[in-house]
Amino acid sequence: MRKVVTLPPYSVLMSVYERELPENLNSSLESMLQQSYPPDEVVLVCDGQLPCELNIIAKSFEGEYRRMFRIVRIDEHVGAAAALNEGIKACTCPYIVRMDSDDVSYPDRCLRQMQLFAAKPHLDMIGTFAEVYDIDKNETVGVKVLPLKHKEIKKYARRRNPFCRQTLAFRRDKAVEIGGYAELDECEDYEFAARMLANGAKARNIPEVLVRYRISEADYRKRKSLRSTRNFIRVRKMIRRSGFCSRADVLIPSAMQVMLFLLPWKATRRFYTRMRKKGAGREEVVLPAEELR
């Protein structure tokens, strides 16, 4: 006789701030509220004062989904990590599904993640593969592919984020146990994942494309900025001090990041394009879209 598995309730957690495009926020929220296995609640953290268009969208969803849609407002812009921590406090379900305000989840994303949590209750974090959509080219340019099993994920995490942040779902009590997100300027998702793993969290990635996330030339330029380079190295040093990784795990990716910072922009873009085609990017493996069809 086939065993009937009861799926756990979950909260969707998203933060938004003033620079988000209204159409992005609208499509992102719609994708989460139209899941084949719907959330019990959606917590939207407004990180600072929002412009009128974004407020209208937030209030319209609050009015339409009054029983499940919650808005948490922060008067001043505090950054993604601090905003997410406020959101974790507001979430009431045992599992939290993260989502960015400019990306789209496919209808079965949460169903697949909650099915795996139900089948393997020892898991604390579950991610998925993600479609990479270039908004400048207006086309899908690849798929972000990451290690699947816990042992592989933990090894991979010594140097790179083993999850697409837009796809991560995690156990709320485990996140609270480690103190939530470290309030960093950048790379807070990687530091959070590494600290969860260092504190015994068990993880999986589902080998399915269940989220589409947007990239642009501005994202690549940001990666090679001096600020991002400093933050990149700082976070890896933090992870090293925790004992999670070795000195080589800090030096090798940091040296590559410095090289990319020093190279001319055109050379850096060629590097990212080549790595995407080879399936071995700095932060992830990205397979060309035609290989996934």
At 145-199, the pLDDT tens digits run 999 999 999 999 999 999 999 999 999 999 999 999 998 888 999 999 999 999 9
182 and 263, same domain (yes or no): yes
pLDDT at 270 over 90: no
Q: What is the pLDDT of residue 287?
A: 43
101 and 130, same domain (yes or no): no
Q: What is the pLDDT of residue 279?
A: 41
Residue 24 domain boundaries: 1-105
What percent of the chain clears pLDDT 70, i.e. is strictly above it?
88
How far is residue 46's CA from residue 66's CA, in Å, rounded to a whole number? 17
* CATH number of the domain residue 18 falls in: 3.90.550.10
* Residue at which a domain ends, from 105, 137, 158: 105
The label of the residue with tokens 């699947």 reads 148
Range name among 78-82, 153-157, 188-192, 249-253 with the lowest pLDDT average: 249-253
Supply the mean pLDDT for the chain: 89
Is there a domain that residue 114 lies in? no
Query: How many domains are contained in the chain?
Result: 2
Residue 165 and residue 99 in contact, taking contact as beta carbons nearer than 8 Å: no
Of 281, 282, 1, whose CA–CA distance to 142 is shortest? 281
How far is residue 72's CA from residue 16's CA, in Å, rounded to a whole number? 10
* Residue at which a domain ends, from 105, 133, 158: 105
Of 213, 211, 162, whose CA–CA distance to 191 is shortest? 162
Residue 43 and residue 117 in contact, taking contact as beta carbons nearer than 8 Å: no
pLDDT at 269 over 70: no
pLDDT at 290 over 50: no
Residue 128 and residue 108 in contact, taking contact as beta carbons nearer than 8 Å: no
126 and 101, same domain (yes or no): no
Range name among 87-96, 106-115, 243-252 with the lowest pLDDT average: 243-252
131 and 79, same domain (yes or no): no
146 and 283, same domain (yes or no): yes
How far is residue 138's CA from residue 148's CA, in Å, rounded to a whole number? 29
pLDDT at 292 over 60: no
Who's near 165: CB < 8 A, 6+ residues apart? 98, 100, 189
Is there a domain that residue 93 lies in? yes
What percent of the chain clears pLDDT 90, i.e. is strictly above it?
71
Is there a domain that residue 211 lies in? yes
* Residue at which a domain ends, from 105, 140, 171: 105
141 and 256, same domain (yes or no): yes
Q: What is the pLDDT of residue 275?
A: 52
134 and 205, same domain (yes or no): yes
Task: Give the range with max mean pLDDT: 4-8, 43-47, 238-242, 273-277.
Answer: 43-47
91 and 201, same domain (yes or no): no
24 and 85, same domain (yes or no): yes
22 and 132, same domain (yes or no): no
pLDDT at 90 over 90: yes
The backbone torsions φ and ψ at residue 269, rounded to the nearest 5 degrees and listed phi first, read -65, -40
82 and 139, same domain (yes or no): no
Question: Residue 215: which pLDDT band, with cuts at 50, 70 and 90?
Answer: confident
Q: What is the pLDDT of residue 104?
A: 97
Of 9, 18, 14, 147, whose CA–CA distance to 90 is shortest? 14
82 and 214, same domain (yes or no): no
How far is residue 205's CA from residue 153's CA, in Å, rounded to a whole number? 8
